[in-house]
Structure 1
Amino acid sequence: MPLRLGPVKFPWGEKKSHEDDPYWDFFINAPAADLANTVIQMIRNAPEGNVFPKKAELHTPEITSTHVKGMAQYFGAELVGIAKLDGVASRPLQPEADPPRAVAAEGQKEDPENALPFAVICAVHADYDPRTAPGIGGQVPVQNGLFITFVLSAWIRELGYRATIMRNADADALAAKAGLGTLNSRGRLVTRQFGTGVFVADAIYTDLPLAADG
């Protein structure tokens, strides 16, 4: 009779097992002395690729949204939602601006041809809040989120549609708008799956025809 083994649990894989480990505290909380020792800056500094000149033939926005979410999950996203952008937020923005600025001048009529009407929101589970855990380990959710949004936005551009990662967008608010959870009193996302233990990656603004959630 074959022997069936249950799931193996390693004690060092749990957050509580590291509470008295000074090396782990350094890993989670000590900022990198040289940012070249992290991949975060490498991904953020990578140039955005070109949009393929011919648009791919798509299904309905609902089916396309399902494909986008499935692709995001394949890349590692644990929660994915789509929010409809309104007003100035739907115009093409300058990602490097702080805060991002609409290209269209104030009061100028928006050109529908240049609008980016949707935001794709991806989130990952986070044992430590990257906002308060600046170490290489504490920034792992940021690293994972950057990888997901970088590859997903590249895939959308290869389909012939614009996709820009917006670092300064209010990702938590957009995540709530996309139905991923609700905002607490501090404006942080609270999800059914992970509570507040979640990190929302930079939003992807796109003109890919999608169906909004929420």
Structure 2
Amino acid sequence: MGNIVTVASGKGGCSKSTTVMILSANLAARGYRVAVIDADRNQSFASWHAQAYEGPPFTCRSEVDHIKVVDLAGELAENHDAVIVDTAGFENLTAASAIGMADHVLIPCMPDRGSVRETMRTAQQVASLSKAARRTIPYSVLLTRWKPRGLSERAALDSLEEEKLPILVQSFGDLADFTKLSFSGTVPTTGKVGDQAGSLIAELVAKGAIPLAKASRVRGKAA
């Protein structure tokens, strides 16, 4: 049985789909059996996968119904190592269902006030759904389009740390390769993007978000 990772934020344009693109392709390149569910009515990820994607194969399905998405994720988890759910950039029942069923929630956050605010709100939503489900739903904040020495990045990080949110060590930098993904079918699995993706995968493995049994496979591919 694979793990379900939901990528969520109430803010559009904070790199949710980009995060899913990078994770899915790089996990597949490392030998993982990966499935992605596009739960956004815009269907931008599913369209990109069907029309542009060129890389290691992975399963892509679409489901925007808040009940059916739970059944589909469970079905895909039976024969995939990781199921990644791409949610809409606004609060809706489908996103809430995807968070409620997740083994781990990733909250992308860019260095701007609106993104930080929505990150906090999404974290509160995860906490509320954890109480409703009577189980802990782990989550992590992924810093995206990040310049480590930027002034806005420093201010954003101070705000996130003040709220004691769990922030991943690995961030996604403000690189041209990330911005080109939606126009290109090629997802880098080497170079700076590949290195950042590999470090993120290793961190998610350590947190139990990605099945621990696959850790040796990740190291083997990276060797």
TM range (shorter): under 0.3
Q: TM-score, normalised by structure 1?
A: 0.24
More helix by share: 2
Which has the larger Rg? 1
What's the TM-score once normalised by structure 2's chain length?
0.24
